[in-house]
Structure 1
Amino acid sequence: MNINKLIKAGGYGLVGLLLIISIAIILILCWDSKQTSYLRVQGRVDTYIIKNVNIVPMTSDTILSNHDILIKQGIISKIAPDIFAKNIKQIDGTDKFMVPGLADMHVHVWDDYELGLYLSKGVTTLRNMWGMPFHLRMKKRIQENAIHAPIFLTASPKLTGPKDEGIDKKQVKDAREGKYLIGKYQKQGYDYIKTYSGLPSDIFDTIKDEALLQNISLVSHPSFEVPYEYHFSKPIKTIEHTEDIVQQVLKFTDDSLMLQKTIVKYVQTKIGHTPTLTVFHKISEIIEKDSDLLSENKTGYINPAFLAIGSQEDFNRWTSTKVYDSLVGERILKQHQQHLKIVKKMNDAGVLLLAGTDSGISYAVPGFGIHEELKFYTEAGLSHFEALKTATVNPSLVHQKLFRTGTVEAGKLANLVMAKENPLTNIRTLENPEMVIIKGQLLDKNQLEEFSEKAYHRSNYWATIIRLAEGIIFK
Structure 2
Amino acid sequence: MKTSYTCLILLFSSFTTVLCQSYLVSNVNIISMEDEEVLENYSILVQEGKIHSIIPMSDSEAYPVDQVIDGNGGYVYPGLAEFHSHIPIAQNGDSQLQEEAMWLYLANGVLRVRGMIGDASHLKLKERIASGELDGPRLFLSGPSFRGSTVSSPEQAAQMVRDQKDAGYDHLKLHPGLKMDEFLAIATTANQVGIPFGGHVSLDVGLKASLENGYKSVEHMDGYIEALIPDYSRVLDPEIAGPFSMLLVEEADMSRLPELVNLTLETGAWMAPTLTLFDRYFGFKPAEEYRNIPEMKYMSAQQVQSWINAKTPHEQSGILTRENVQPYLDFRNQLLMTLHEAGVPMLMSSDSPQVFNVPGFSIHHEIDLMSKAGMSNYEILKSGSVNPARYFGQEGNWGVIKEGASADFVLVKSNPLEDLETLKNPVMVVMKGEIYDQQELKKQLDKIEAKYNRD
Equivalence map 1:159-174=2 (5 Å): 159-161=146-148, 165=149, 171-174=150-153
| Count of aligned positions | 410
Normalized per residue, which structure has more helix? 1
Equivalence map 1:299-448=2 (5 Å): 299-302=296-299, 306-309=303-306, 311-322=307-318, 328-401=321-394, 404-448=397-441
The 8 Å contact of residues 104 and 123 in structure 1, kept in 2 or not, is answered as yes
CA deviation digits over 1:191-212, x for unaligned, max 9? 1111111111101111112112
Q: Give the secondary structure class of the aligned counterpart of 1:124.
A: strand
Per the alignment, residue 132 of structure 2 pairs with: 145
Whole-Å separation in 1 of the counterparts to 2:66 and 2:221: 48
Per the alignment, residue 256 of structure 1 pairs with: 254
Pairwise CA distance, 1:288: 2.3
Whole-Å separation in 1 of the counterparts to 2:4 and 2:100: 14
Pairwise CA distance, 1:39: 8.4
Q: Give the secondary structure class of the aligned counterpart of 1:51.
A: strand
Larger radius of gyration: 1
The 8 Å contact of residues 6 and 21 in structure 2, kept in 1 or not, is answered as no
- With 92-101 and 42-51 compared, the bigger mean Cα shift is at 42-51
Whole-Å separation in 2 of the counterparts to 1:75 and 1:412: 6
Q: Structure 1 counterpart of 2:47, which letter?
A: K
1:51 to 11, 22, 26: 26
Whole-Å separation in 2 of the counterparts to 1:444 and 1:434: 6
TM-score (structure 1 length as normaliser)? 0.81
- With 245-254 and 269-278 compared, the bigger mean Cα shift is at 245-254
Whole-Å separation in 2 of the counterparts to 1:438 and 1:456: 23
TM-score (structure 2 length as normaliser)? 0.85
Whole-Å separation in 1 of the counterparts to 2:249 and 2:65: 63
Q: Are residues 300 and 245 of structure 1, via their aligned partners in 2, closer, same or farther at CA, if it must alter by over 3 Å?
A: farther
The 8 Å contact of residues 220 and 231 in structure 1, kept in 2 or not, is answered as no
Per the alignment, residue 117 of structure 2 pairs with: 130
Per the alignment, residue 446 of structure 2 pairs with: 453
Q: Are residues 68 and 445 of structure 1, via their aligned partners in 2, closer, same or farther at CA, if it must alter by over 3 Å?
A: same
Per the alignment, residue 50 of structure 2 pairs with: 75
Per the alignment, residue 35 of structure 2 pairs with: 60
Per the alignment, residue 203 of structure 1 pairs with: 182
Asked whether 1:270 is paired with 2:268, we answer yes
The 8 Å contact of residues 46 and 441 in structure 1, kept in 2 or not, is answered as no
Whole-Å separation in 1 of the counterparts to 2:393 and 2:300: 30
Whole-Å separation in 2 of the counterparts to 1:275 and 1:315: 20
CA deviation digits over 1:35-85, x for unaligned, max 9? xxx989796853211112100111111210001111111111111203322
Asked whether 1:98 is paired with 2:96, we answer no
Q: Give the secondary structure class of the aligned counterpart of 1:69.
A: strand
Whole-Å separation in 2 of the counterparts to 1:183 and 1:150: 27
Whole-Å separation in 2 of the counterparts to 1:260 and 1:98: 38
Q: Structure 1 counterpart of 2:34, which letter?
A: T
Gaps of at least 5 residues in structure 2 are: 8-19, 89-97, 230-247
Q: Structure 2 counterpart of 1:139, which letter?
A: K
Pairwise CA distance, 1:297: 2.3
Whole-Å separation in 2 of the counterparts to 1:457 and 1:316: 28
Whole-Å separation in 1 of the counterparts to 2:123 and 2:203: 29
CA deviation digits over 1:237-258, x for unaligned, max 9? 2111135423444552343222
Gaps of at least 5 residues in structure 1 are: 1-37, 166-170, 461-475
Q: Give the secondary structure class of the aligned counterpart of 2:164.
A: helix
The 8 Å contact of residues 49 and 69 in structure 1, kept in 2 or not, is answered as yes
Asked whether 1:240 is paired with 2:236, we answer no
Whole-Å separation in 1 of the counterparts to 2:170 and 2:396: 15
Q: Give the secondary structure class of the aligned counterpart of 2:391.
A: coil
Q: Structure 2 counterpart of 1:298, which letter?
A: E
Q: Are residues 347 and 278 of structure 1, via their aligned partners in 2, closer, same or farther at CA, if it must alter by over 3 Å?
A: same
Whole-Å separation in 2 of the counterparts to 1:173 and 1:115: 34
CA deviation digits over 1:414-454, x for unaligned, max 9? 11010111000001211110000001100101111122222
Q: Identity rate of aligned residues, in percent?
A: 27
Whole-Å separation in 1 of the counterparts to 2:349 and 2:440: 25
Q: Give the secondary structure class of the aligned counterpart of 2:216.
A: strand
